[in-house]
């Protein structure tokens, strides 16, 4: 009864039952899994706790990725909170947290793959930073996860969340769309505004290729989470200001899938193009191979 396949179905359900995206998603998840709603909420509470732990762990200066290419960047950026920044506290925190989580992932630590391990920084970065800076409750943060999940569910059903299939637009682009919708929700925006923000966020990263250096989920992945985070925040801000995406969310999802099919296999997680084919990346790859 509360199942939805497209963004428009979700908006219709919200209007029909006078419910938020979070409420519809909660019902849909409980129905699909045959769980009580409180069980879904308890799983999300657990996921949020893992996100919080990974942020804290990643803000430790000592963290180093398995491939040795990243580590300590979340910590470095976070120091700008006390020295003053160009971006302001909320953006700085969100991006520091996003970098921190991706560094924990690259160090083989525990993260929530939301929606994938490579793109795991954007959603916790935004939900935790907005919750802190806007003084939202834990319950509201969990509801924001439901909103992000609803957007991810639609993208997964109609396109893909895998870099190997759709390029990085499918991973960081989707994470950015999910987080943007969640940020709108946390700031009191409507269901339509959330999907509008998601459309703009995904559109902004359309065509982004997947080109991990040496095949490791480190470079450019970690910093792309930073880009995805800022993209999500500004799209949420635009939507809350009443700026609309000319192309609706569902059509952008379809476009993303079509673009993914057109992206050369060299630019879909094979490390045969893009950043992975630069002279520096090739030298890194040779060094790593000679160490094995
Ligand atoms: S570049 Fe590829 S592996 Fe890295 S985050 Fe993007 S999709 Fe994932």
DSSP per position, 277-289: GSHHHHHHHHHHH
State the CB neighbour count (10 A cutoff) for residue 30: 17
Query: Within a domain: residue 2?
Result: no
pLDDT at 292: 61
Q: Does ligand 1 come within 6 angstroms of the Cβ of 28?
A: no
Specify the number of domains making up the chain: 1
Question: Domain span at residue 244?
Answer: 7-291
State the CB neighbour count (10 A cutoff) for residue 6: 16
CATH number at residue 85: 1.10.4100
| pTM, rounded to two decimals | 0.98
pLDDT at 100: 98
Give nearest CA residue, ligand 1 atom 2.
Answer: 210
**CB under 8 A, 24+ apart: contacts of 279-285:** 281/213, 281/214, 281/219, 284/69, 284/213, 284/214, 285/213, 285/214, 285/215
Query: Within a domain: residue 139?
Result: yes
Query: Within a domain: residue 111?
Result: yes
Query: Within a domain: residue 206?
Result: yes
237 token code pair:
């801000």
State the CB neighbour count (10 A cutoff) for residue 242: 8
Token pair 């960047």: residue: 73
* CA 78 – ligand 1 centroid, Å: 23
Q: Does ligand 1 come within 6 angstroms of the Cβ of 210?
A: yes
Q: Does ligand 1 come within 6 angstroms of the Cβ of 224?
A: yes
Query: Within a domain: residue 147?
Result: yes
- Spatial neighbors of 206 by CB under 8 A, at least 6 apart, are 169, 173, 252, 255, 256, 259
* Cβ atoms of residues 195 and 25 within 8 Å: no
pLDDT at 289: 81
pLDDT at 239: 99
Give nearest CA residue, ligand 1 atom 1.
Answer: 210
* CA 251 – ligand 1 centroid, Å: 23
Mean pLDDT for back-to-back runs of 10 residues, the chain (292 residues): 96 98 98 98 98 97 94 97 94 98 98 98 98 98 98 98 98 99 98 99 98 98 98 98 98 98 98 98 93 66
C-alpha distances (whole Å) from 180 to each of 116, 127, 173 are 16, 9, 10
According to DSSP, the residues that pair with 17 across neighbouring strands are: none
Q: Which atom of ligand 1 is nearest to the CA of 167?
A: 7
């Amino acid at each position: 009864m509360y199942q939805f396949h497209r963004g428009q179905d979700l908006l219709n359900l919200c209007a029909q039952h006078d419910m938020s995206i979070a409420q519809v998603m909660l019902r849909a998840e409980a129905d699909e899994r045959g769980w009580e709603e409180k069980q879904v909420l308890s799983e999300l509470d657990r996921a949020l706790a893992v996100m919080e732990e990974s942020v804290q762990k990643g803000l430790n200066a000592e963290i180093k990725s398995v491939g040795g290419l990243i580590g300590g960047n979340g910590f470095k950026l976070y120091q700008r909170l006390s020295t003053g920044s160009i971006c302001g506290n909320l953006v700085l925190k969100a991006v520091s947290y996003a970098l921190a989580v991706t560094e924990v992932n690259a160090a083989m630590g525990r993260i929530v793959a939301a929606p994938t391990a490579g793109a795991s920084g954007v959603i916790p970065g935004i939900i935790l930073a907005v919750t802190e800076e806007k003084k939202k409750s834990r319950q509201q943060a969990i509801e924001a996860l439901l909103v992000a999940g609803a957007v991810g569910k639609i993208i997964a059903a109609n396109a893909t969340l895998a870099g190997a299939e759709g390029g990085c637009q499918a991973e960081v682009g989707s994470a950015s769309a999910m987080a943007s919708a969640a940020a709108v929700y946390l700031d009191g925006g409507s269901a339509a505004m959330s999907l509008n923000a998601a459309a703009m966020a995904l559109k902004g990263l359309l065509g982004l290729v997947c080109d991990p250096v040496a095949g490791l989920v480190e470079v450019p992945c970690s910093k792309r989470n930073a880009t995805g985070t800022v993209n999500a925040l500004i799209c949420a801000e635009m939507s809350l200001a009443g700026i609309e995406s000319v192309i609706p969310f569902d059509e952008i999802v379809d476009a993303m899938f079509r673009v993914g099919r057109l992206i050369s296999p060299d630019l879909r997680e094979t490390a045969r193009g893009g950043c992975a084919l630069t002279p520096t990346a090739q030298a890194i790859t040779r060094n790593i191979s000679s160490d094995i």
